[in-house]
Amino acid sequence: MTKNFNSRRDFIKKSAGVSAGLMVGGVLPGFSASSYARIMGANDVLRASVMGVNSRGNALAQNFAFQENCEVIHVCDVDSRAIEKCTANIQKVQNKKPQGFEDFRKSLESKDVDILVVAAPDHWHAPAALLAMQAGKNVYLEKPCSHNPREGEILVEAARRYNKSVQMGNQRRSYPNVVEGIQELKNGIIGRPYFGKGWYTNNRGPIGVGQKAAVPGWLNWDLWQGPAPRTDYKDNIVHYNWHWFWHWGTGEALNNGTHMVDLMRWGFGVDFPVKVSSNGGRYHYSDDWQTPDTQVINLDFQENISMTWEGRSCNGKPIEGSSVGVIFYGEKGSMFIPGGNEYTVFDLKNNVVKEVKDTQKVDARDAANPSSHLDSLHIRNFFNNILSGENLVADIDSGHKSTALVQLGNIAQRVGHSLEINPENGHIKGDKKAQKLWSREYEKGWEMKL
């Protein structure tokens, strides 16, 4: 953040430029010029607590602090070093030092907190969001919204029961040119779209074989595990490699696939599939990595539509020149949306029909902060929902549906066969082995309860 923006004022000026373009073009459905005017320079100040600030959360905390009508008052992490670093970064942005907490539940006790931003590991996402809603807080929840489908269902019910705003961090729903492209798709620019392909590629190295070790003095390992049943500390889990263990993580499919699957579900206007399959495995290295490093998930829908997602964690060869992206195929052509704020439409002869670019690039492989200037639009939509009731572009119901699609792919992968799905609610039909993975076991006392 500090490399891109010298001050909060500079950041607001840049963001206002994006907003001005939206006002003139009317790109975002449901976003009026007056709505953005209310956000820019609003007198209402929302106070945020950020949970999990080692990497992505550190960038998010600074982005929230940069917003004119927000103050980050609490920073929460089980790593004392992360608290110290993020607190210093926030102080530079807003000229006021936030309070640090090892246990985010202490932060939730404060009546001053309006929002909990959740950027902790995946196994914490839904339990933390639920506790926040029960404490009367609104929630900005990084993807995936849950570790398993049942947790997503609980969050949807909780948002209704506690009447709280919950925005999932699938930020591309706020990218102006992407929103325009999806609207063009729905308007028939390529005819009826019937097949979609999404992907993510990277060149991740091995994680080795972990050894039992003493817990570092800077880490509260018990609280890091939180809702997950207890295991011994090993030296190759914290901070990033937990993504590749089923006990805490959800693999590349949920780590990055969620974004692309959400784009496809949005473009096609579908909810749950009727059939899901997955092929792949841990192919590149022999180590502790449990989730697939190579995976293809296929989803078939009753609307006569199919989509597929390809993940390659250890071979970064791009598809269509992009490390991440989506292509919609239709009766009259195709639409390509890469990782950034742009899209291209082709006819059936592969001629470019329309091309919309963005001068500012997005680095989809930057795990911490790929697109701060665009993320701010997503954050401000969240703020405007809280302050004025504007519709969320990525509410928890939508977030759960997109997350569940990829979770179903992982369940199919783990049981080793395709799944028949009830398209009304996404539940697995007639498969006891797979149904066991619909939820998870919790450490005693940490169960999610509405």
- What pLDDT does residue 360 have? 72
116 and 200: one domain?
Answer: no
Q: Write down the pLDDT at residue 373.
A: 81
Helix crossing, 176-186 with 8-25: angle to 10°? 20
Is the same domain home to 402 and 392?
A: no
Are residue 204 and residue 313 in the same domain, yes or no? yes
Within-domain flag for 184: yes
DSSP 246: T
> Side-chain half-sphere of 118: how many Cα atoms within 13 Å?
29
Asked if 108 and 50 count as a contact pair (C-beta separation under 8 A), the reply is: no
Residue 317 lies in a domain: yes
Q: Do 157 and 270 share a domain, yes or no?
A: no
Q: Which domain holds residue 323?
A: 176-209+232-362+397-438
CATH code for position 431: 3.30.360.10
Same domain, 104 and 199: no
Please check whether residues 108 and 148 belong to one and the same domain. Answer: yes
**Calpha distance 185→279 (Å, rounded):** 29
276 by DSSP, 3-state: which? strand
Task: For residue 382, give the DSSP letter.
Answer: H
Residue 30 resides in a domain: yes
pTM score of the predicted model = 0.90
Report the percentage of the chain scoring pLDDT > 70.
88
58 and 12 within one domain: yes
Q: Is residue 447 part of a domain?
A: no
Asked if residues 370 and 364 have their Cβ atoms less than 8 Å apart, the reply is yes
In a domain, 448, yes or no: no
pLDDT < 70: residue spans in the chain: 1-43, 362-371
- Residue 257 · residue 309 · CB < 8 Å: yes
One domain, residues 321 and 245: yes
Residue 180, sorted as left (phi over 0), alpha (psi -120 to 50) or beta, turns out to be: alpha
Here the tokens at position 397 are: 């119901």
114 and 153 housed in the same domain: yes
CA distance 34 to 280: 49
What is the spatial distance between Cα 383 and Cα 140, in angstroms, rounded to a whole number?
10
- Could you give the number of structural domains in the chain? 2
Residue 408 lies in a domain: yes
**Same domain as 124, residue 82:** yes
CATH of residue 101: 3.40.50.720
Q: Are residues 426 and 379 in the same domain?
A: no
Claim to verify: residue 401 and residue 261 sit in the same structural domain: yes
User: Domain for residue 446, yes or no?
Assistant: no
Q: What share of the chain is helix, strand, coil (3-state, %, to 5)?
A: 40, 20, 40
Is residue 223 a part of any domain in this protein? Answer: no
pLDDT for the residue numbered 81: 98
